[in-house]
Structure 1
């Protein structure tokens, strides 16, 4: 592994040393995790408040499912268990660009990601750093597809991903240590500990990864910490949480089609590197007064980025969020009502040095309201949101990104579900969602013209058949977009950025498709998950009318088989298939090349011996040469995905 840049004042933790130190802790009197133990009911966050009833049409991934599949990071869990398609990012980390509804190159900006209700989606053109969330701290992941702007604001047209961390239990102590090593110089170590006493719970999770990775100049070093302290009363909860990540990456860069065919592991940018340091501090609290519950979150995140790609660039981003809200529950005979209302205040600022050199700020204030009525077998909900944005940017060098702008947008939603029979239910969702241009979008526009807000009319119809043992959910969805924000690489005369295209408001576009998700326990030991999605993404007006939107596979499919006999042995096998798709720059659809379709196979086997679990897992077991990201116009900008990888791990629970 080529040495990473030494710019830190302290050395990164050594993975094996971390495990060795923490493994010396001993808690012999504590209960151990038993395979096949009875699980407690899953609690979900349907309306920014916890409830035992899932959001209409939602997918929930539990910590148990993550453990059984041997998955080591949040992004991988969403792709492999949730069946969400992901594209390789530019830095070789686990933060794949996830695409919930066929948004291609802008999928990161059309999806909202939250950790315990705090938005961590970036207000810039970069993937959400889910790798900053240690996997051992995750209690569950909730995926809600399609428009969700009423509750979560701009960028939620494709849907939302909510990561809920473990709260721990009062009067209990639990923990684990984990180590894994394998192909391409991979080493990982994790440790987690939760201690409860009286009404207090303290928890901490550490993680460290060192890897050479598949490609030359693709090394990665990442250290994470997540910890919190909370007090839990009869009708109140108050706490504080810290999440921190330090990441150093080498950048292997893109390849042409000829270079990829010659050697997909090579690099032509041997000196490029980057670092991403993220710190997030969150205060949270909630209090019930009979049927009324008040809650609030206050968070502060700082991100320091440094990267070298021909020249050195630095940026510091600070984001503050404050979200007070209330919920009122009422009942009148057989009819129950849940009213949720709240405010969202966000302040975002980024100061960058390099090219461009800018000081950009975005402030937003939102008010929202949602009411859900339940009567017998029916649920119906209606919500509205109004959000006001104030943006300004000052470019101290080129003077090309100077602007001050104020704008307001609205969203609404109408949802309903009805249980026709004990094992059959139907649901429908309609609404309007939006996205506003971020600082990167407005930095590379045609003639420096600010972009208009993107809006989408959203529709989803679906049905579920079965119960918890065997269930199939099918849905059809549609997004009709106006002023979609995207980089158009074909546009010429884009100011000083001529030759690279420009960010524009596209002519009207549309996404429509079908998704079928099935989950079944075949026997006491075997269970299966299958997910298939078809997306038709097209331009509907303008010079590209009828053309396909780039980097959107028409079909994706996931199949996973899990074996859990209850005797200490477990196994998990997964198959994923992705259809062919257009290169990122092929707006005209004239390239005779496409990103080829591919299928990958992964598997894991584990055995438990007392408090220990030993496992072996492999990804891309057929050693398929494939790629998921290629931003070039025709056969260029290729970022190869990883070849066959095998890893061995050991874990102790106490």
Structure 2
């Protein structure tokens, strides 16, 4: 098939895709090109991608080869600054402007994965091998103190696993092995990168072992259990050259390494109350490690360092009820989690980089419903979310009871679809998000929050033979809004916002070959 789309901000997109089916062999290919000038100055985005999927079926096995490649070139418009004490409000005076007209970033990547699925009678086994490469370059002018860096990341993964279908049990066990090789070079200009100020190299390795079991106690009761343990290590070094261009006032990070071991578990139960309704409960422990490309930044004195972080861990529980099928039904759930050492990108305590947050708890309510009547389909979702620190003293501020930034209390989503005819469909969606504290305002003392907003989108699609014609309007009522803002860690009442697009639209034409 072929698809072309044009829209606001000089947006142009072309897609081509196709499948060659066969009895034992199959091939799927897809390519995409995207161009847009963006809503703001210095906001251009250029993307190209290619995806492929080849399958080969044997009597008791199947081999799947997946591969993809992509490039992206983007300009970085930066934020709009607001500081009431000096009358600064770039959001009101120039919302589409840029304070970083020279900043940009490029990315090139490709990946390939080979999967083997083997049928062993009542049981089966799977073998996954993957490789991914990601090369990035970025330039930040910083008001005449430029920073240019090139990074390269190679990732290898190996994941064998087996599933055993027993009388009342479905048992899955497996191993995940990952190896990351990371390198980055820092300079003051692209032309000087051959003699970098800093040359960072790091290696990350992890191996995890897990087991899961689904136990059918009776036709109405199912239990789920699981456990995982993982060993994780990072070794990193930084070679600093003060004689390199721009290196006179630089610094180098001390070499270091980190070794961690963590575990996770899960326990769940589902009870079928009726033919369409079920109660469920689940609890578990999870973890997350900071990856090798997240640890090299600067401290509060602007000296480079490896910020080895503690593993993030969480204990969580959920109790819920589900009913209905695809056209009519609903879900209600209560959830709670206690999180230790949450990994967060945060300039609040130590320069620009990641840090571990103090202990916090998250809890709330989730509601979902869907129904249909003749040609109409209506669905909705509501989330009530609380996230608060339970302890901690952050830069002299007691955080106990403070709200965690970037967590809106209320989120509402509504979607209405009207099948106007056999070939025409109209969809309208609305999303409301309540106000929330800004990033870097863990103390909740700025006095300004990210405002609440409501965004409505509409789309119409018409089919004619092999053709699909579509048109859409995003942000139908031209809401002025932003979803991210960050408080300054230097000036008390200064903060930066990242405004999003007002009303915009696009038209597309697609043809599917038969």
TM-score in same-fold range (> 0.5): yes
* Cα shift at 1:426: 0.7
CA deviations over 1:601-654 (Å, ceiling 9, x no partner)? 100112111111111101011111110011224552211111111101101112
Superposition pairs of residues 532-543 of structure 1, within 5 angstroms? 532-542=382-392, 543=398
Counterpart for residue 152 of structure 1: none
Residue 224 (structure 1) aligned with residue 66 (structure 2): no
Distance 2:41 2:295 in 1: 34
Distance 1:472 1:203 in 2: 36
Asked if the contact 2:67/2:111 (under 8 Å) is kept, the reply is: yes
Distance 1:653 1:506 in 2: 50
* Cα shift at 1:275: 0.7
Counterpart for residue 563 of structure 1: 418
Counterpart for residue 504 of structure 1: 355
Asked if the contact 1:282/1:300 (under 8 Å) is kept, the reply is: yes
Asked if the contact 1:401/1:442 (under 8 Å) is kept, the reply is: no
* Cα shift at 1:377: 1.1
Q: Which has the larger radius of gyration?
A: 2
Distance change >3 Å, CA 613–CA 358, structure 1 → 2 = same
Residue 451 (structure 1) aligned with residue 309 (structure 2): yes
Distance 2:9 2:104 in 1: 18
* Cα shift at 1:328: 0.6
Structure 2, unaligned runs of 5 or more? 83-88, 142-146, 188-197, 241-250, 393-397
Counterpart for residue 280 of structure 2: 427
- Match of residue 351, structure 1, among 176, 180, 183: 183
Aligned-residue Cα RMSD (Å) equals: 1.7
Distance 1:449 1:280 in 2: 28
CA deviations over 1:196-247 (Å, ceiling 9, x no partner)? 1221101100111011011111001101100121112454210211111111
Distance 2:363 2:286 in 1: 15
Moved over 6 A (4+): none
Distance change >3 Å, CA 369–CA 473, structure 1 → 2 = same
- Match of residue 433, structure 2, among 568, 578, 583: 578
Asked if the contact 1:583/1:635 (under 8 Å) is kept, the reply is: no
Distance 1:369 1:221 in 2: 43
Residue 518 (structure 1) aligned with residue 369 (structure 2): yes
Distance 1:321 1:303 in 2: 15
Residue 284 (structure 1) aligned with residue 135 (structure 2): no
* Cα shift at 1:576: 0.6
Asked if the contact 2:369/2:380 (under 8 Å) is kept, the reply is: yes
Higher RCO, 1 vs 2 (CA within 8 Å, ≥6 residues apart): 1
Asked if the contact 1:228/1:240 (under 8 Å) is kept, the reply is: yes
Superposition pairs of residues 384-399 of structure 1, within 5 angstroms? 384-397=227-240, 398-399=251-252
Larger relative helix fraction: 1
* Cα shift at 1:393: 0.8
* Cα shift at 1:565: 4.3
Residue 236 (structure 1) aligned with residue 95 (structure 2): no
Counterpart for residue 211 of structure 2: 369
Counterpart for residue 296 of structure 1: 127
Distance change >3 Å, CA 437–CA 179, structure 1 → 2 = same
Superposition pairs of residues 325-336 of structure 1, within 5 angstroms? 325-331=161-167, 336=168
Superposition pairs of residues 36-185 of structure 1, within 5 angstroms? 176-185=1-10
Distance change >3 Å, CA 297–CA 440, structure 1 → 2 = closer
Aligned length: 467
